[in-house]
Chain A
Amino acid sequence: MAVDLVQVIDEWTTRITALAWALFLLTWSIGWALRGAPIPFSKVKRAGANLIEDSIWAAFWLAIGATIFKFITYVASLVAGALG
């Protein structure tokens, strides 16, 4: 039962990653569109700038996610070695 659950979670993770990549592109485009739109409200422009920034962060984390996990595993093994 636990193994099934692990597989389900794995599938979800893969789908969410794919969705995140797609959404990053969408958000980035919407962000630039809002920035460049001829709408005279500064809130809109700020919203656009935030969207752009958030989308770049998302792309950054997506890209280095696996590296981060490897790094954390390495730190954990250092701690285990020090304590064990």
Chain B
Amino acid sequence: MALLAIKLSILTFYLGVLIYSLPIPIRSIKKWGPELIWDSMLALLIVLLYSVLYEASFRLASLLGGSKALFIGWYGNSVATALSIKVITSILQAFPSSLVFSNVISALVIPFDRIATLTIIFLTTLGGIGELVFVYGIPLMVIGVVLFSLPFKIARSAGAWLISFILVFTIGLQLLPVFILNIASYPNIDVENQDYKLVAIRVVSNLEHPASNGILILKRPDSSIVASYVISSDGYAKSKYANHIFIAVPSNTLYPYLEYSGVLLPLYPNPINIGDYKGGDTITLKSPHTIIFKNPLILVYTTSSTYNILESGDSYNIVVWLNAGDYIEARVPGSCINNVNSNSSIKSYEWEWRGVKGSAYRIEASQPSHYAMNITVSSCTPVSLHYGDTIDYIDTVIGSLSFFDINILKAFILYYLTIPAIYVFILFLITSGIASLLGGKGRIPIKVA
């Protein structure tokens, strides 16, 4: 493509010479001769220098204190902050009105939500421009250079604009964070460093069955319960206030457990350090002792860790290695028709959990050996569960949302919207200036008498 531009500028030169040598004494035609000749020389110079100028813009930017990494870092942080605010405001907006917030928080939830949306749109546009100049910079400059070298100034102003756009924004975007920090101070929205994180937690068995309708319990090292959440049918712990999958958890080391059909099962990794995760991450917790989770509330679990399962339709054939003292147990709600048999003796008893009654079948090992259980469960009528009494950590957090403050809203708008928008506008003005310097005023060069 660059070769095309070189050939075009040489063609322009000889076109100019041709016009010079025409035996037509009309000034308005003849004046194109020298114009084309000068155009072609400038075009050739630009063609030979565009990649050098592109590289030089990176060096110039780093001399002034900017860099591509700086821009990408600033961009990433800003988008993450805006997204975190958006998640929080959408949770807060989903709360029933019976939950009492302070007046300031209620008043500022919607403005923060709108501003976060606007910021995300603006920043993503900026990020798109960044990708354009950093990843596609050279190809776009080549197109600009080819347009610039077309004879008779046909696309000269377009080419000039494209070239100056790439150069100006390559330098400009790298210096954007420097510009902003020199004018405004970073608004103290420490969303990431609050003592909680908004994450999605999914609870599954080793075979990836979701633990639907179970209750996720998070305990502190001293065994006090810090929060608990009901698990939805796709395995995600859900806040009782919101429809989406994000829950608030404290950013420390927690011990997760699952209460399912009346059994308390530990979940792995145990303990889990929430501080290692970022807001918006999805954490998968596994219950290694669980062989089967099945809706509704059907549970087969064991104290051992090695088992084999064969599934055919509604029936499961499980073989497990148990040491003395280990057991395997199946729990089935009373609303299901079930059949449990084994080659060893089965103890059965009743259980009740969240208003659902059912039967439990336990095989206890008296000596180390393989034990087999065959369980068939079918025709389950839907169970009606009493609502789990859960503690949503967001209740603990609400009182400490320190950034719902009008001054911080003002600082946020200034830092993430107003100043970057002014800067980008300045960059566009500079682009037009350099473009008209390179390519002329962009008027159609036909003299009207």
A binding-site residues for B, Cβ under 8 Å: 2, 5-6, 9-10, 12-13, 16-17, 19-20, 23-24, 26-27, 30-31, 47, 50-51, 54-55, 57-59, 61-62, 65, 68-69, 72-73, 75-77, 79-80, 83-84
Q: How many residues of B contact A (CB 8 A)?
A: 32
Of residues B3, B17, B48, B56, which shows the largest number of chain A Cβ atoms within 10 Å of its Cβ?
Answer: B17
B53 touches A69 (CB 8 A): no
Beyond A9-B8, A72-B41, A75-B45, 16 additional pairs, beta carbon < 8 A: A6-B7, A9-B7, A9-B11, A16-B15, A20-B18, A20-B21, A26-B21, A58-B20, A58-B33, A61-B16, A61-B20, A62-B21, A65-B13, A65-B14, A69-B13, A83-B52
Known: A20-B14, A79-B52. A6 touches B3 (CB 8 A): yes
Q: How far is the CB of A39 from chain B (nearest CB, A)?
A: 14
Give CA–CA (A12, B15) in the complex, Å.
10
Q: How far is the CB of B348 from chain A (nearest CB, A)?
A: 79
Is chain B's interface secondary structure helix, strand, loop, or mixed overall?
A: helix
B20 touches A54 (CB 8 A): yes
Chain A residues with CB under 8 A of B16: 61
Q: Which residue of A lies closest to B2 (CB)?
A: A2
Q: Which residue of B lies closest to A22 (CB)?
A: B21
Chain B residues with CB under 8 A of A72: 41, 44-45, 48
B37 touches A5 (CB 8 A): no
**B1-38 contact mask (Cβ, 8 Å, vs A): 1 or 0:** 10110011011011111101111010000100110010
Known: A5-B4, A61-B37. A12 touches B21 (CB 8 A): no
Known: A6-B3, A9-B4. A30 touches B49 (CB 8 A): no
Contact of B55 with A by CB under 8 A = yes
Known: A16-B11, A65-B17. A76 touches B49 (CB 8 A): yes
Give CA–CA (A75, B3) in the complex, Å.
18
Known: A13-B10, A61-B37. A27 touches B52 (CB 8 A): no
B20 touches A57 (CB 8 A): yes
Give CA–CA (A55, B7) in the complex, Å.
24
Chain A residues with CB under 8 A of B45: 72, 75-76
**B109-143 contact mask (Cβ, 8 Å, vs A): 1 or 0:** 00000000000000000000000000000000000
Instruction: Give the residue of A5, A27, A50 whose beta carbon is less than 8 angstroms from that of B21.
Output: A27
Chain B residues with CB under 8 A of A65: 13-14, 17
Instruction: Give the residue of B8, B13, B25 whose beta carbon is less than 8 angstroms from that of A47.
Output: B25
B binding-site residues for A, Cβ under 8 Å: 1, 3-4, 7-8, 10-11, 13-18, 20-23, 25, 30, 33-34, 37, 41, 44-45, 48-49, 52-53, 55-56, 59
Q: Which residue of B lies closest to A74 (CB)?
A: B48
B23 touches A26 (CB 8 A): yes
Give CA–CA (A55, B33) in the complex, Å.
11
Known: A5-B4, A58-B33, A69-B10. A27 touches B53 (CB 8 A): no
Q: How far is the CB of A53 from chain B (nearest CB, A)?
A: 10
Instruction: Give the residue of A13, A62, A79 whose beta carbon is less than 8 angstroms from that of B7.
Output: A13
Q: Which residue of A lies closest to B44 (CB)?
A: A72
Give CA–CA (A9, B10) in the complex, Å.
9
Chain A residues with CB under 8 A of B52: 76, 79-80, 83-84
Give CA–CA (A55, B16) in the complex, Å.
12
Chain B residues with CB under 8 A of A76: 45, 48-49, 52
Known: A58-B17, A72-B41. A79 touches B22 (CB 8 A): no
Instruction: Give the residue of A26, A50, A51, A80 whose beta carbon is less than 8 angstroms from that of B49.
Output: A80
Known: A9-B7, A79-B49, A80-B52. A62 touches B41 (CB 8 A): no
B41 touches A23 (CB 8 A): no
Instruction: Give the residue of A6, A62, A84 whose beta carbon is less than 8 angstroms from that of B17.
Output: A62
Chain B residues with CB under 8 A of A16: 11, 14-15, 17-18
Chain A residues with CB under 8 A of B59: 83
Chain B residues with CB under 8 A of A51: 23, 25
Instruction: Give the residue of A2, A54, A62, A84 whose beta carbon is less than 8 angstroms from that of B1.
Output: A2
User: What are the 10 closest A-B residue pairs judged by CB atoms, nearest first?
Assistant: A58-B21, A76-B48, A58-B20, A47-B25, A23-B21, A27-B23, A83-B56, A80-B52, A24-B21, A20-B18
